[in-house]
Structure 1
Amino acid sequence: MRLLLLGMVAIFCSSAATPEEQALQISLDIQARHTPFGTILNPYYVSPVSSEVQTYTRCGDSAIWTGHWLASEAFRYKVTRSSESLDAAKRALRAIRLLVEVTGSNNLLARCALRTDSPFSAGPRSEEKSHGEYLGKFENTDYYWIGNTSRDQYLGVFFGLSAAYESIADPSIRETITDLATRLLDRLIAKNWAIVMPDGDISTVFWLRPDQELAIRQVGRQVNPDRFGKGYEDKRRDTGGLNIIMAFEASDENGSYFKFNLNAISWYTLIHLEEPESPKRSEYLSAYRVFRNAVVNHGNAFFNVVDRALTGPEARRDAETLDLMSQWLLRPKRDPFIDLRGKYRACGENRACDPIPVVERVSTDFLWQRSPFQLYGGGTGQIESPGIDYILPYWMGRAFELDFNLLAVSAASGRPGLAPDSIATIYGSGFTEGSQIRVTDSAGS
């Protein structure tokens, strides 16, 4: 049977920017509006309709998203080899160098760094004062730097350093990455995997997370094998029970949802860099699958791309990824208050029974670390997110040969994004008005 689809298939004919053009514009916007001091911050505008920046916010998570930004630009360079992507990666790497060198001889990682001579520093300083503020210097400029650094900041930075080291063969970049990773890892080892501030306060420890320690040691082995290779191999040999750790994490699929993003970047680093003949590789993959099974139906494009990187192509998952990314492009850039109570069935306080469509989810710095079940939340529409939650899965997906040229959604998928009264929706930039599609069955008729 041959069927000419007329009203049955919705063709979106548009001169809108392609997925790549969207990603390139987001990168430009990040550099223009989200890096006033080098690292990732979010502008807070005078009003929801104003383009005038009143202050900046989200300083406390600047390190993790700067690491994700570096990874994005590194994957972009791997795909395009463009001078623009190399320049952007260098900017992101310099920002991470700022977060390390501003702490002086401590070789700590700061949450963020704010110039002492900028009026834009006042807002973030006030927001983050509970984390502790210190004075430092970078390239002959004075900064305030924010402490009480968490494990997620370290994991995000090491994720970015690893991706950049692998993707960019420039000797000076690799030398910088090796230096930064070595300084940070040397201090963690010297402090018995506790993050210790200059005044002696311990902000957190890695003691109950051998998976995260292994991921950081794995990056150390990648960039400085002579110094860190044996330490990683010893820790790898002595570590067990990774499935149990992941099972505990997976037991609550909604609370502290950011934990799943940390799992994603840790397992990506750990497994991607593990040699194929390693006796531990199968154990790593087994623990990873516990995490993956917990989030497989959450509609998470980044986790899907990580899964493709670790396990290879899979048609249904990859089609879903394209759908989720197309929905992301329909989301607001700022943070309006969202209230979906009454629209979607609730299974608890501020928890939907099923994942909410991407286009309707509550805004955040990085969408894929936000619970897809959250029914309400947000702000006043004055904070702009950077868009790393688009460019990271986009360029990482491209690096692992995911084709973004055609975005298709099947009615059988049960996923949102299907046009009304259609059995499929195809999104693309090369269609003309009046386009038609022929569908042929398996018999060729």
Structure 2
Amino acid sequence: MHNLARDYSRWLHAGMMPAGGVMATQFTDDTLSEVLAYSSRRDSAIWTGTYLASEALRFMTTQAPDAARQIRDTLETLHLWWRIPGDPGYLARYAAPADSPAPIQAILSDSEEEVHRDVLYEGERWHWRGNISRDQYQGVMLGYSFAYEATQSPALRELIRKDVVDFIEQLMRSEEQPVAVRVGNSTLSTQVRIPYAVFSKVEAPDGEPALTLTLDPFEAAGKGVLFFSPNAAELVRQLPGLGGFANIYQPTESIQLGAMFNVALQVTEGVSEYAERRQAIAQHYEAHADEWLDIATGWRNSNQCADAYFGLNIGFMPLYSWIRLEQDPARKLRLQREVLRDAMWEEVKDHKNVFFAFIYASQAAAEDEVQSVADFHADQLARFPTAPNLALPRDLTGKYPESEQCEGLSAVAVNVDERVPASFTWERQPWKLVDGGTPNQVYGGVDYLMAYWMGRYYGFIADDAPGTCLLWRRDQ
């Protein structure tokens, strides 16, 4: 398993991190020597941040010098993605120099509305992809938290600190500004206060953020604005005629806020230059943390036949950080029992999801028996395909019982070695029986690296290659 981690690192760096960002790669032929195109281009931030977390865990487990270098390089890449868009706390999905090779240029096509080209940053021109979503922040914040713990470099710690604090202070502002709001067939321009939001001037139509609201069932979409509101009704009630709108609690957003504020407290602890700013963050957190926790206990899996399984990941990932970093013992215990164990783990315990299992096993309340959970899922991880992880066709018809409720899906979770490959297996539903595959497409293995180094860090997996040099070589 340790040797497989080395193999995945080699493949990842050889062809699946264009301009420093993690993607999947389709090659021109089965020699896998020439890049045809990159995919997963809208999800590079979340998986690059997750890769950073895996390297931080590797460094804390092994003290490998090359892991320290990867932490540095990946932090510098993500720092650029925070800064190039130009608005506080607004993260790019991906960015690359304007003079990049053709396959990278194709990632950032000028035909796509969310792509911004030839943006000047510190004297150089860049292309970047916007229209950021909440899930992208979760991988980046997870990576920043672990990287801050792993590195002792004052410069890298300050880089992390600046990005995180700027983001959290933006969320705290709750700015009031003109917004174009569309509800049904009506559009009005009005002043509203948008709590817990980041803004992008370049992505706002005519310079004014735009919101489209559907009230029953409630849905919200924005242009030039992304919000992390734990109660969406706080926004809706500001609109004419909707002052009595019922609460719309959002457990996943509450978990995200709890995690992100804790990361900000982590990276400012004991730093005198940030003492006043840290105090403001801490006061805000203490004023709202229990409210967010109460909302988080209402987390439910709303998936129907696994139509949006990725939503589970964007709850588990920040919950991992919130529990790890929470300093209040009573609050931490509620998170462990009521949110992690009783709500979320209970829902996925038979999914053979190694990432979720290792989060649960490492963060569970002391009274929970987790060794059998860790052992079973370590065995599943040992089944992970060898590198490179090709998008080969799958047809498991007849091998697994078919679900009576969900056509074309298995009634039980498919073993890890037989699953349809993906950029991050643990965010994809585990019941798919048939997939046509994609010729010569390779996935980078961040899913394996993150789970493996979690397993090593927490003692769920032993080193099966002690004393062996596992540094990948660039000439291989």
Q: TM-score range by the shorter chain?
A: 0.7 to 0.9
Q: 1:86 aligns with which of 57, 68, 72?
A: 68
Q: 1:245 aligns with which of 293, 298, 306?
A: 298
Would the aligned equivalents of 1:45 and 1:383 in 2 still touch at CA under 8 Å? yes
Determine the C-alpha separation between the residues in 2 that align with 1:377 and 1:123.
26
Matched, 1:360 2:360: no
Q: 1:184 aligns with which of 146, 167, 184?
A: 167
SS in structure 2 opposite 1:384? strand
Distance 1:326 1:98, change over 3 A: same
Distance 1:374 1:131, change over 3 A: farther
Q: 1:153 aligns with which of 132, 136, 158?
A: 136
Q: How do 1:278-297 and structure 2 match up within 5 A?
A: 278-285=329-336, 286-289=338-341, 290-297=343-350
Would the aligned equivalents of 1:99 and 1:110 in 2 still touch at CA under 8 Å? yes
In structure 1, the partner of 2:103 is 120
The amino acid of 2:197's aligned partner reads A
Determine the C-alpha separation between the residues in 1 that align with 2:466 and 2:258.
43
Determine the C-alpha separation between the residues in 2 that align with 1:107 and 1:244.
27
Determine the C-alpha separation between the residues in 2 that align with 1:266 and 1:50.
35
SS in structure 1 opposite 2:423? coil
Q: Which runs of 5+ in 1 are unaligned?
A: 1-18, 407-427, 431-445
Q: Which has the higher contact order (CA 8 A, sep 6+)?
A: 1
Distance 1:128 1:41, change over 3 A: farther
Determine the C-alpha separation between the residues in 1 that align with 2:137 and 2:302.
22
In structure 2, the partner of 1:257 is 309
Distance 1:167 1:384, change over 3 A: same
Greater mean alpha carbon deviation, residues 294-303 or residues 99-108: 99-108
Would the aligned equivalents of 2:141 and 2:260 in 1 still touch at CA under 8 Å? yes
In structure 2, the partner of 1:15 is none
What's the offset of the Cα at 1:310? 0.4
Q: 1:231 aligns with which of 284, 288, 292?
A: 284
What's the offset of the Cα at 1:388? 0.7
Q: 1:372 aligns with which of 417, 430, 455?
A: 430
The amino acid of 1:295's aligned partner reads V
Q: TM-score, normalised by structure 2?
A: 0.76
Q: 2:380 aligns with which of 324, 328, 347?
A: 324
Determine the C-alpha separation between the residues in 1 that align with 2:293 and 2:58.
35
Determine the C-alpha separation between the residues in 1 that align with 2:286 and 2:397.
50
SS in structure 2 opposite 1:50? coil
The amino acid of 2:137's aligned partner reads Y
What's the offset of the Cα at 1:429? 10
Distance 1:127 1:316, change over 3 A: farther
What's the offset of the Cα at 1:65? 0.4
Aligned pairs, number: 389
What's the offset of the Cα at 1:134? 4.8
SS in structure 2 opposite 1:145? strand
Distance 1:84 1:169, change over 3 A: same
Distance 1:244 1:318, change over 3 A: closer
What's the offset of the Cα at 1:300? 1.1
The amino acid of 2:402's aligned partner reads A
Q: How do 1:29-178 and structure 2 match up within 5 A?
A: 29-118=11-100, 119-126=102-109, 129-138=112-121, 140-178=123-161
Deviations 1:143-182 (A, max 9, x none): 1111110000011111110111122232222111101111
Determine the C-alpha separation between the residues in 1 that align with 2:301 and 2:86.
36
In structure 2, the partner of 1:10 is none
Would the aligned equivalents of 2:23 and 2:38 in 1 still touch at CA under 8 Å? yes
SS in structure 1 opposite 2:26? strand
In structure 1, the partner of 2:233 is none
The amino acid of 2:152's aligned partner reads A
Would the aligned equivalents of 1:242 and 1:284 in 2 still touch at CA under 8 Å? no
Deviations 1:277-300 (A, max 9, x none): 433222212111110111111111
What's the offset of the Cα at 1:70? 0.5
In structure 2, the partner of 1:344 is 400
Would the aligned equivalents of 1:217 and 1:232 in 2 still touch at CA under 8 Å? yes
What's the offset of the Cα at 1:336? 2.1
What's the offset of the Cα at 1:62? 0.5
Distance 1:138 1:77, change over 3 A: farther
In structure 2, the partner of 1:437 is none
Determine the C-alpha separation between the residues in 2 that align with 1:251 and 1:296.
15
The amino acid of 2:418's aligned partner reads E
Determine the C-alpha separation between the residues in 2 that align with 1:375 and 1:127.
37
What's the offset of the Cα at 1:79? 0.7
Greater mean alpha carbon deviation, residues 114-123 or residues 80-89: 114-123
Would the aligned equivalents of 2:293 and 2:335 in 1 still touch at CA under 8 Å? no
Deviations 1:329-382 (A, max 9, x none): 347612123233343222213321110111111111011111001223353232
What's the offset of the Cα at 1:404? 2.8
Greater mean alpha carbon deviation, residues 20-29 or residues 227-236: 20-29
Determine the C-alpha separation between the residues in 2 that align with 1:299 and 1:400.
19
Determine the C-alpha separation between the residues in 1 that align with 2:110 and 2:52.
25
Deviations 1:8-48 (A, max 9, x none): xxxxxxxxxxx222212322332222222111122221124
Would the aligned equivalents of 2:361 and 2:371 in 1 still touch at CA under 8 Å? no
What's the offset of the Cα at 1:249? 2.3
Would the aligned equivalents of 1:108 and 1:187 in 2 still touch at CA under 8 Å? no
The amino acid of 1:29's aligned partner reads W
Following superposition, which runs of at least 4 residues in structure 1 exceed 6 angstroms of deviation? none
Deviations 1:172-194 (A, max 9, x none): 22111101111222223335223
Deviations 1:289-321 (A, max 9, x none): 110111111111111211222027733212212
Determine the C-alpha separation between the residues in 1 that align with 2:402 and 2:106.
36
What's the offset of the Cα at 1:132? 4.2
SS in structure 1 opposite 2:432? coil
SS in structure 1 opposite 2:79? helix
The amino acid of 1:36's aligned partner reads P
The amino acid of 1:206's aligned partner reads F
In structure 1, the partner of 2:255 is 211
SS in structure 1 opposite 2:119? strand
